[in-house]
Amino acid sequence: MTTLHTADFGSPLGDLRAIWDDAGLCSLMFTEHWQLAERTLRRRFGGIAPVAAPSSDLPGRIAAYFAGDFASLDGIAIDPGGTPFQQSVWAALRRIRPGETTTYAQLARGIGAPTAVRAVGAANGANPIWLIIPCHRAIGSDGRLVGYAGGLERKRWLLAHEAAGQRPPLALGA
């Protein structure tokens, strides 16, 4: 049985559950999606034994993100599992900066698989580490918000939050 560390904490968008092992963060989900995450973790690790973590800087880093410090999520070690293809999609998503978006077709081209748009969408949907692997930054080719497991309202909120943080300061009296 694999021992995984767990922490629950709040966010402006709902309660979150984080699961990590010695290699890094394995799952970050809204608690209402925990059953799905648990099934995925059981398939990956066999039996799991989540243990409350004695301490972690993750809740503070997430809180800093919501306070506008988008760089607070950079450098968080992740261990999402997945296939090599999924890992390539997730790595490409992590390179998209806050305030920017991409399309599934652009992601497919970016990983050298231009005809794999649907597979990129499936990999995006299988992302086990919400927010750290920023799948909310992938949008439809027509600019519509599509395909977010946390719900389109949350996706819209995250994109607006990140876009607001990217605006240059207002030049008063210029």
Each residue's pLDDT tens digit, 67-126: 999 999 998 999 999 999 999 999 999 999 999 999 999 999 999 999 999 999 999 999
CATH code assigned at 47: 3.30.160
Q: Which of 38, 53, 73 is the last residue of a domain?
A: 73
**What's the confidence (pLDDT) of residue 157?**
93
Helix/strand/coil (H, E, C) string of 112-153?
CCCCCHHHHHHHHHCCCEECCECHHHEECCCCCCCCCCCCHH
Q: Identify the band that residue 54 occupies on the pLDDT scale cut at 50, 70 and 90.
A: low
Q: Which domain holds residue 63?
A: 2-73
**99 in the same domain as 69:** no
Q: Which of 22, 38, 73 is the last residue of a domain?
A: 73
Q: Above 80 in pLDDT, residue 43?
A: yes
Assess if residue 172 is contained within a domain. no
**What's the confidence (pLDDT) of residue 169?**
42
pTM: 0.88
Range name among 17-21, 54-58, 93-97, 156-160 with the lowest pLDDT average: 54-58
**What are the structure tokens assigned to 37, written together?**
């995450």
**What are the structure tokens assigned to 120, written together?**
């990129």
Q: Which one is catalytic: 19, 26, 135, 159?
A: 135
Query: In angstroms, rounded to a whole number, what is the distance separating the alpha carbons of residues 119 and 130?
Result: 18
Contacts of 95 (CB under 8 A, 6+ apart): none
Phi then psi for 28, rounded to 5 degrees? -140, 110
CATH code assigned at 121: 1.10.10.10
Assess if residue 55 is contained within a domain. yes
**What's the confidence (pLDDT) of residue 168?**
41
Query: In angstroms, rounded to a whole number, what is the distance separating the alpha carbons of residues 9 and 139?
Result: 28
Strands 16-21 and 24-30, bridge-based pairing: antiparallel
The residue written with tokens 């890992």 in the block is: 87
Supply the angle between the helices 84-94 and 117-125 in degrees, to the nearest 10. 80
Range name among 24-28, 116-120, 133-137, 161-165 with the lowest pLDDT average: 161-165
Average confidence (pLDDT) over 61-65:
94
**What are the structure tokens assigned to 34, written together?**
């925990």
User: In this predicted model, which residue has the larger pLDDT, 167 or 106?
Assistant: 106
Element (H, E) at 61: helix 58-66
Q: Identify the band that residue 65 occupies on the pLDDT scale cut at 50, 70 and 90.
A: very high
**Is 26 considered catalytic here?**
no
**What are the structure tokens assigned to 12, written together?**
């402006």
